[in-house]
């Protein structure tokens, strides 16, 4: 490297001038480019003189660290600049040196610039990774803020809807109890329609509240000994009307249900199971069949709700548990609670999932695919922990009592 060091030292002014001329397209930036180019060739000279790449690497580090750009714009690479400086150095060697002297100089220059290129590439890759991590953290923080805003909006909206609904229910009840309404069959029919609509609206409002409580991890669970068979019997009674409306036969294989109790919130557990049953009814054709059976696993009972419905595509097996998920064409949406394939607000399965997970369990679905003709059906697995005791306000270190009550919304 001694020959290259002597050559660079004697031709450094020409190298700087040629580099500044090519790299400085804007006269206003010429002084800035001059400073950077001078620093680079000074580092190059010190590197080829000492044989230590530290001086040149320090310049490259400064290049990478001095870059600044908006977060949503890709950082500009300095590699093309380094490649241009290498080409200019080659051209100057060939211009000022005879060919027999130029060849060994070019070989040495290539070695130095190759090492520099590899080092710069590593620096930029590390910087890019750091920048991506930073942007990811900002995106995650933004998503968390959006989720919190969404949950707060849902909670406030549900509260604001509940208040006028209570007034409507009160006035409707007053009208229904008047003598003329009791004696007028037409009025009674209209009031029944109002009552049905109010009931459905209150169910949706309650679901919105449950979603916000689950999102904020503030759902309150009242834990006590419960028997899964009793819960399934109650859930069956609650869906009997929907079963009759759709002529669907529900079979509960009671001999598979464990007889020993567990500790859970019976109302919430029944709510989760009922929502899975209603989902099975909704997506099973009229006259179809839904089966409930269980199997005991170490520490858990797997309650399986099996339908002979239209099934679920593999791409949607996880998506169906997302809040407000809506599969299919939104223009064909129907708010019928039990209508075949009738759309809903997309809250039932997410609420069921949240309740089961709040108990320390899990829920998932499996299906051979979506087929409205052959109806491959779906199986929902509800894994319920079987516990023999609880301590304080916890179930196996899972908090039960939140700081926000439903009535606070």
Q: Which two tokens stand for residue 240?
A: 């009997």
What's the longest Cα–Cα distance across the chain?
Answer: 118
The Cα 179–Cα 352 span in angstroms is 43
**Number of domains present in the structure of the chain:** 2
The residue out of 181, 216, 251 marking a domain boundary is 216
Same-domain pairing of 232 and 188: no
Residue ending a domain, choose from 216, 247, 282: 216
> What integer pLDDT is reported at residue 400 of this predicted model?
42
Residues 117 and 263 in one domain: no
What integer pLDDT is reported at residue 327 of this predicted model? 54
Instruction: Answer yes or no: do 246 and 366 share one domain.
Output: yes
Looking at residue 402, its pLDDT comes to: 36
Last residue of a domain, one of 216, 238, 253: 216
Paired residues of 296 in beta bridges: 301
At residue 367, what are phi and psi to the nearest 5 degrees?
-160, 150
Which parts of the chain sit beneath pLDDT 50? 69-73, 332-333, 393, 396-409
- On whether both 189 and 245 belong to a single domain, the answer is no
Label residue 216 exposed, middle or buried (CB < 10 Å: 0-12, 13-18, 19+): middle
Q: Read off the CATH number of the domain in which 387 is found.
A: 3.30.565.10
Q: Check whether residue 100 and residue 55 sit in a common domain.
A: yes
Residues 249, 194 within the same domain: no
pLDDT at 42: 92
End-to-end CA distance of the chain: 77
Task: Calculate the alpha carbon distances from 112 to 55, 80, 108, 118 in Å.
Answer: 12, 16, 6, 10
pLDDT at 399: 40
192 and 336 part of one domain: no
DSSP per residue, 199-211: HHHHHHHHHHHHH
Tell me: do 158 and 242 sit in the same domain: no
Q: Give 313's contacts (C-beta < 8 A, 6+ positions apart).
A: 367, 369, 370
CA dist., res. 348 & res. 341, Å (int): 14
Considering the domain architecture, whether residues 152 and 246 belong to the same structural domain is answered as no
Let me know whether 188 and 256 are in one domain. Answer: no
194-245 confidence digits (pLDDT tens): 988 888 888 888 888 888 788 778 788 899 999 999 999 999 999 999 999 9
What pLDDT was estimated at residue 398?
43
> Residues 175, 317: one domain?
no
Please give the distance of CA 298 from its chain centroid, rounded to a whole number.
31
Boundaries of domain holding 378: 224-408
Q: For residues 19 and 104, state if they share a domain.
A: yes
Give the three-class secondary structure for 226. strand
| Both structure tokens of 103 | 């060849």
């Amino acid at each position: 490297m001694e020959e290259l060091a002597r050559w660079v030292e004697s031709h450094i002014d020409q190298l700087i001038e040629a580099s500044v001329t090519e790299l400085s397209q804007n006269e206003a930036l010429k002084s800035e480019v001059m400073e950077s180019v001078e620093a680079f060739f000074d580092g190059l000279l010190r590197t080829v003189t000492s044989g230590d790449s530290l001086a040149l690497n320090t310049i490259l580090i400064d290049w990478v660290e001095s870059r600044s750009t908006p977060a949503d714009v890709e950082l500009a690479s300095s590699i093309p600049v380094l490649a241009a400086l290498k080409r200019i150095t080659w051209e100057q060697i060939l211009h000022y040196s005879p060919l027999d002297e130029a060849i060994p100089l070019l070989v040495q220059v290539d070695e130095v610039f190759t090492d520099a290129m590899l080092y710069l590439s590593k620096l930029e890759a590390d910087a890019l990774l750091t920048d991506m991590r930073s942007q990811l953290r900002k995106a995650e923080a933004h998503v968390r803020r959006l989720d919190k805003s969404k949950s707060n909006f849902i909670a406030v909206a549900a509260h604001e809807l509940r208040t006028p609904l209570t007034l409507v229910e009160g006035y409707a009840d007053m009208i229904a109890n008047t003598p003329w309404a009791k004696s007028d069959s037409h009025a009674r029919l209209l009031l029944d329609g109002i009552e049905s609509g109010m009931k459905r609206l209150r169910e949706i409002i309650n679901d919105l509240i449950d979603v916000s409580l689950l999102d904020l991890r503030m759902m309150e669970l009242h834990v006590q000994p419960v028997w899964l068979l009793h819960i399934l019997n109650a859930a069956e009674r609650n869906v009997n009307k929907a079963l009759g409306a759709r002529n669907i036969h529900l079979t509960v294989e009671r001999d598979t249900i464990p007889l020993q109790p567990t500790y859970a919130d019976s109302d919430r557990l029944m709510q989760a199971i009922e929502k899975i049953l209603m989902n099975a009814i909704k997506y099973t054709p009229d006259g179809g069949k839904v089966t409930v059976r269980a199997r005991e696993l170490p520490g858990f009972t797997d309650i399986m709700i099996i339908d002979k419905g239209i099934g679920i595509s593999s791409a949607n097996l996880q998506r169906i548990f997302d809040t407000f998920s809506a599969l299919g064409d939104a223009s064909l949406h129907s708010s019928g609670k039990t209508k075949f394939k009738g759309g809903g607000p997309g809250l039932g399965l997410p609420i069921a999932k949240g309740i089961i997970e709040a108990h320390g369990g899990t829920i998932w679905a499996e299906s051979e695919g979506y087929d409205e003709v052959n109806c491959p059906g779906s199986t929902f697995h509800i894994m319920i922990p079987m516990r023999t005791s609880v301590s304080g306000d916890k179930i196996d270190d899972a908090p039960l009592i939140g700081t926000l009550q439903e009535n606070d919304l």
